[in-house]
Structure 1
């Protein structure tokens, strides 16, 4: 099993792409070209990271250890962000997926009142490799039955959990989305309204969950508002190929503590 540092090293290289900001309603605000380079120094004992964005000053970081707010999977996928939801403070996280020569990262930020405030989608490919851009995600791209495997890792370093998953998504007669998630002998069924690029799970008015359908096959899932004494998840999805999808879920308990990070890789076995 790789160490967390060895997992980080899967991200070495020069990543070319863009930072695209969206409103909480999915409106495109701006799109800025970017180059992010991660270089190993001293036999990869230190990482030098340079973030270059159009018309902005470069951000240069050097580090030789990882903070408590970040976890990596063996393929290099990762998440970093708040480890605790607290009153009157900003809250949020970055979730990063990786596949072959491409990365897809999503930053979700909430303001001091807990309202979803900013979304940034970062699409990247390794310099010198072919750029592949997937179409914007549509609801029809997700309908069907998906089978996969979920790997969950923990901030307290306990052993990972690996379980099979089964997800079905279909529209009923009134075009309401029905989602059934089966894992570890449990089934969770929920319903949502679909309006253009927004899927809203609105069964509980106190805990509405929004899924934004974004460019490059991406999706962003989060509460519209984070609240104390309520568990929550932040999720990014990436439709890499028509029948191959990755998802990453950062989970918080009802005390607002970050408790786990899950990476799901799933294949569509049936379409509806």
Structure 2
């Protein structure tokens, strides 16, 4: 298992992409082109960050150009062995904005998502950043659909804790099925099993439970999973996922306790089992 810094270095390179603004209903509001550069210097002890954003295309002068240097990473940023990362607010506080950012890396692709909640703690907006390593022919993924999620998934979850105790790793099993206009999920990890049902509403999945939440199915195989409102009085989690191949998915989860304190970040890598797979192994 690499160090946080070593895993951060797996994001080095020049990435050409788009910043896409998305409403809380999952509607596309607009996009702007971007070039993000992460350059390792001084034997990778220093990383120079530069983000340029453009009005229409990258052949024009940028409308913004921001640079920063890193020799260390903040406590709230957790990087996993694939280079995937999760960072965001450490504490939910009254009359303060709350946010989380997730990043997934796979060879010449990155897919990132930012979830923002307003000062009343209500879910307010999403930004989806789809990036391709400059000079490669990597392709974006299709828009995510319910059919792409249905099936039996098995994987491994790695959890890093806010108090920096040793990470935990455990197997996960997820079964997703569609019954009419409902989606049923059964998630098992460790000795726990959680069942839930959502109403399918186009590209939205509505879970009407103790803490109502919505999963939005987005472009590039990405999904966003948030409660309608975050709280400093009851536990909750926020999540992003990326279907980076037909039968391969990664998920990133940030968990908060009943005081609104960030407790842990989890990275799940899971694969779907097809009937043909079961036949070959029987």
Corresponding position of 1:267: 271
Unaligned ranges ≥5, structure 2? 56-62, 276-282
Corresponding position of 1:46: 46
* Distance in 1 between residues matched to 2:191 and 2:70, nearest whole Å: 42
Across the aligned residues of Structure 1 and Structure 2, the Cα RMSD in angstroms comes to: 1.2
Task: State whether structure 2 residue 218 is matched by structure 1 residue 211.
Answer: no
* Distance in 2 between residues matched to 1:53 and 1:136, nearest whole Å: 24
Report how many aligned residue pairs link the two structures: 268
* Distance in 1 between residues matched to 2:50 and 2:16, nearest whole Å: 12
Corresponding position of 2:175: 168
Q: CA deviation at 1:62?
A: 1.0
* Distance in 1 between residues matched to 2:64 and 2:16, nearest whole Å: 17
Q: CA deviation at 1:239?
A: 0.8
Task: State whether structure 2 residue 23 is matched by structure 1 residue 19.
Answer: no
* Distance in 2 between residues matched to 1:169 and 1:6, nearest whole Å: 35
Corresponding position of 1:189: 195
Question: What do residues 174-210 of structure 1 show as CA deviations (whole Å, max 9, x unaligned)?
Answer: 4211110011121100111010010011133xx2111
The secondary structure found in structure 2 opposite 1:141 is: coil
Q: CA deviation at 1:216?
A: 0.7
Could you tell me which of 199, 220, 225 is aligned with 2:205? 199
Could you tell me which of 128, 153, 169 is aligned with 2:160? 153
Task: State whether structure 2 residue 261 is matched by structure 1 residue 257.
Answer: yes
Q: CA deviation at 1:18?
A: 0.7
The TM-score with structure 2 as length reference comes to 0.92
Q: Which runs of 4+ in 1 moved over 2 A?
A: none
CA contact 2:232–2:261 (8 Å) conserved in 1: no
Corresponding position of 1:107: 114
Question: What do residues 201-236 of structure 1 show as CA deviations (whole Å, max 9, x unaligned)?
Answer: 1133xx211100000111001111112211111111
CA contact 1:168–1:179 (8 Å) conserved in 2: yes
CA contact 1:219–1:238 (8 Å) conserved in 2: yes
* Distance in 1 between residues matched to 2:87 and 2:189, nearest whole Å: 25
* Distance in 1 between residues matched to 2:4 and 2:141, nearest whole Å: 30
Question: What do residues 56-103 of structure 1 show as CA deviations (whole Å, max 9, x unaligned)?
Answer: 211111121111211111221111210000111000110111111111
* Distance in 2 between residues matched to 1:178 and 1:194, nearest whole Å: 10
The secondary structure found in structure 2 opposite 1:9 is: helix
Corresponding position of 1:225: 229
* Distance in 2 between residues matched to 1:76 and 1:177, nearest whole Å: 31
* Distance in 2 between residues matched to 1:46 and 1:200, nearest whole Å: 44
CA contact 2:238–2:253 (8 Å) conserved in 1: yes
Unaligned ranges ≥5, structure 1? none
* Distance in 1 between residues matched to 2:274 and 2:229, nearest whole Å: 34
Q: CA deviation at 1:131?
A: 2.4
Could you tell me which of 179, 183, 187 is aligned with 2:185? 179
Q: CA deviation at 1:2?
A: 2.0
The TM-score with structure 1 as length reference comes to 0.95
